Structure 1
């Protein structure tokens, strides 16, 4: 019930609100072009914020571009009504008082975007790794050095962690909104490969793949592989693998691309995905990672 309520909230907020703002932009009838501009800017900043924060793997990776297109079309059509109006009113209340609400929205939405950008772009240089999955198109659902982008951010070892799912041809991570069969998730059973050259420090198998949204908090990583990436001086954990699929043992040497196991739904996870994070081998603190020079930020897509 809770997961279904979450889905309703996601739809209402991340799809419903942008649709409402696009409709409002389409219906605009401002006395000045300046008034039109601040209303459109407020809507655009809200949409940019939602593009960064939304779970578009659940709502559809193409849905976000439909929302962008709708807002752009609404702005174009409403501009045609405002193109010959003055930029400012000759008389009346000061501009900021007449448009206090959209100006407040611009300040809030713009401030949040700047806050996110500062966190993301101030992160240290990342460690280069090979992308750890094969056989599909993948979306990062948790990732980035910011608390609004990454629920792992508050954990010192997982500050730069990433949770990755696969998305199917229609742009969704599963068949159905919240299926309880792990096999209906696009990532389930896909190959998980070594992101570096190194040694297997730990390998665990035998835990069951749970039916979503059941979780196993007593075994947070579930079936997993921990690698020591010698050249980089880091340890990399790959978690929530499928039972019986772990293909390496402690002490084994691996090269980038070697099979480690298959993506599953074991451990403390509400649905199938791959969790990956790296720590400094000396301190145990999380360090940034990148795949093909791209940091795993929320909603970034990778194809393998």
Structure 2
């Protein structure tokens, strides 16, 4: 049951907090529009942070849309109630609104910090998207640890974890099912993101039912492709799905395996990262010109 606690916290942050923020905005009753604007902006920035860091493949894409509408309606209703009130703030400003001002600066700084993490860190190498046949979403990706838990790792600094979402907007049927077939991405076709040569392959490891993990074999079944100056790794593949061996030439878009749940992974997804073949340092990549950052959607 321990693995369900982080999931429960995530759902509370993604769903309960925005509902609470909408209620807070709707109930505002300030003496001036200036005071209202400070408190409304404070709540909106907090909501913006949740939109950035939330795992909406788990909480649901349609859930996110409903919450955005709810917050905007609360904002509009609150604005209408304050529209004819004066703008002047109570003085001294710090004494009357100090807590709100501190909160506002904190949320604005955090939002800016994370928003910068959604932009490329440098000049990423453009590759083809490595999955076919679905609507895919980046679960881990970006240049901030809060957006990408790989970011602190030297070789995986720009790694991404990719899942798929179904018509209802969820990455699985159920919150954390043990049945691999309930994950939309399980079995999805993995293709080479570039033309190159297979550097190494691992297959034969079992696909584990969540939350079991194989920490001794972090990448699980995987393939590493040498693409010019990069070595691109595609990991956590389905047992028996890898169709190449070391030394094989592959072309962009050619099938190399299928998504599984092998190795040190909590649920089915495709892990991809690239390193500079000479230095061994992480290399930033993009898919068809778009950097894979948290919650970005790719349809193929």
Normalising to structure 2: TM-score of the pair? 0.97
Aligned pairs for 1:226-245 (under 5 A) are: 226-230=224-228, 233-245=229-241
Distance in 1 between residues matched to 2:118 and 2:62, nearest whole Å: 24
Which residue of 2 is the match for residue 4 of structure 1?
4
Decide whether the 8 Å contact of 1:159 with 1:286 is kept in 2. Answer: yes
Give the count of matched residue pairs.
Answer: 300
Distance in 2 between residues matched to 1:117 and 1:282, nearest whole Å: 31
Superposition RMSD in Å:
1.1
Report the 3-state secondary structure (helix = DSSP H, G, I; strand = E; otherwise coil) of the residue aligned with 1:276. Answer: strand
Decide whether the 8 Å contact of 2:120 with 2:291 is kept in 1. Answer: no
Q: Deviations over 1:59-110 (max 9, x none)?
A: 1022122111111100101111100000014xx5423322222222211111
Decide whether the 8 Å contact of 1:130 with 1:196 is kept in 2. Answer: yes
Aligned pairs for 1:16-27 (under 5 A) are: 16-27=16-27
Which residue of 1 is the match for residue 253 of structure 2?
257
Q: Deviations over 1:11-43 (max 9, x none)?
A: 222211111111011011110001111111111
Distance in 1 between residues matched to 2:115 and 2:75, nearest whole Å: 26
Distance in 1 between residues matched to 2:141 and 2:161, nearest whole Å: 7
Structure 1 unpaired stretches of 5+: none
Q: 1:178 aligns with which of 169, 176, 179?
A: 176
Which residue of 2 is the match for residue 163 of structure 1?
161
Distance in 2 between residues matched to 1:281 and 1:15, nearest whole Å: 43
Distance in 1 between residues matched to 2:118 and 2:171, nearest whole Å: 25
Decide whether the 8 Å contact of 1:142 with 1:297 is kept in 2. Answer: yes
2:274 is aligned with 1:271: no
Q: 1:246 aligns with which of 234, 237, 242?
A: 242
Query: Would you identify which runs of 4 or more consecutive aligned residues in structure 1 move more than 6 Å?
Result: none
Deviation at 1:4, TM superposition (A): 1.7
Decide whether the 8 Å contact of 1:18 with 1:43 is kept in 2. Answer: no
Which residue of 2 is the match for residue 300 of structure 1?
296
Distance in 2 between residues matched to 1:21 and 1:187, nearest whole Å: 33
Structure 2 unpaired stretches of 5+: none
Decide whether the 8 Å contact of 2:52 with 2:114 is kept in 1. Answer: no
2:98 is aligned with 1:100: yes
Which residue of 1 is the match for residue 70 of structure 2?
70
Deviation at 1:120, TM superposition (A): 4.1
